[in-house]
Amino acid sequence: MNDINDNSVVSIVMPVFNRESLISTAIQSVLNQTYSHWELIVIDDRSTDNTKQVVANYVKQDSRIQYFVNDRTQGPGGARNCGILKAQGEFIAFLDSDDEWFNYHLKDSVRTINEAQVDISFALWWIKQQNNEPFYYYEHPLIVKYLEDLRNKFGAYGETIIFDKGLFEQYLNDQICLYHINTMVVKKELIHIYGLFNEVHNVGEDSEFMINFFDKCKVALITKPHFIYYESPDSLYFFCNRYELDPDSLYQDEKLLKKIEDTGLKSIKFKTLLKGKVEESDHVRDKKNCILNINSGIGTKYYTLSYLNRRDKKVALQYCRLSHRIKPTMFNRLLLCHLYVSIPIRKEFMKKGLDLY
58-105 residue pLDDT tens: 999 999 999 999 999 999 999 999 999 999 999 999 999 999 999 999
Q: State the helix-helix crossing angle for 23-31 and 51-61, rounded to 10 degrees.
A: 20
How far is the C-alpha of 149 from the C-alpha of 168, rounded, in Å? 17
User: pLDDT band at 321, cuts 50/70/90?
Assistant: very high
Q: What is the pTM for the complete model shown? A: 0.90
> pLDDT at position 1, please?
43
Q: State the helix-helix crossing angle for 313-326 and 287-308, rounded to 10 degrees.
A: 170
3-59 residue pLDDT tens: 456 789 999 999 999 999 999 999 999 999 999 999 999 999 999 999 999 999 999
Average pLDDT of the residues in 313-327 = 97
Average pLDDT of the residues in 265-271 = 93
β partners of residue 39: 11
User: What element of type H or E holds 42?
Assistant: strand 38-44
> pLDDT at position 130, please?
74
User: pLDDT band at 2, cuts 50/70/90?
Assistant: very low
Torsion angles phi and psi, residue 75, rounded to 5: 130, 170
How far is the C-alpha of 88 from the C-alpha of 68, rounded, in Å? 14
174-207 residue pLDDT tens: 989 999 999 999 999 999 999 999 998 777 899 9
Domains defined for the chain, CATH in brackets:
10-231 (3.90.550.10), 242-353 (no CATH)
Q: Which of 125-139, 175-189, 266-280 is predicted with the least confidence, judged by mean pLDDT?
A: 125-139
Answer positive or negative: Cα dihedral of 224, 228, 234, 240: positive
Quick check: 238 and 231 in contact, CB under 8 A?
Answer: yes
> pLDDT at position 4, please?
52
How far is the C-alpha of 28 from the C-alpha of 10, rounded, in Å? 16
Average pLDDT of the residues in 122-133 = 88
